[in-house]
Amino acid sequence: MKAWLKDVAPSDDLRRWFAHDPDKWTEFERRYFAELDARSEVLEPIIEAARRGKVTLLHSAHDTEHNNAVALKEYMDARAG
């Protein structure tokens, strides 16, 4: 791992609310994406790294389908145009 971009993570309040409950996934993404929209500058290091090559997003959740890395990838893919 070359960088840990803590500011890209969902807020503590949002993570606690979500609590890895798959039933809350859609709303979690909506709220997380709104957080990212409000501070899009935190994504610049990831965007710049992606311009230079492959980027790997890591997560520590047991659920491989409902975690911060999956949501972040979806957010970035949707905005890549």
- The answer to whether 72 and 28 have CB atoms below 8 angstroms apart is no
Whether this model's pTM surpasses 0.85 = yes
Contacts of 66 (CB under 8 A, 6+ apart): 20, 22, 25, 28
- The reported pLDDT for the residue numbered 70 is 95
- Give the whole-angstrom CA distance, residue 1 versus residue 31: 27
Q: pLDDT tens, 39-54?
A: 989 999 988 888 898 8
More confident site: 48 or 36: 36
- In the chain, what are the domain boundaries? 6-80
* 52-58 contacts at long range (C-beta below 8 A, 24 or more positions apart): 58/1
Kindly compute the dihedral angle of the four CA atoms of residues 31, 21, 19, 75, in this order, to the nearest 10 degrees: -30
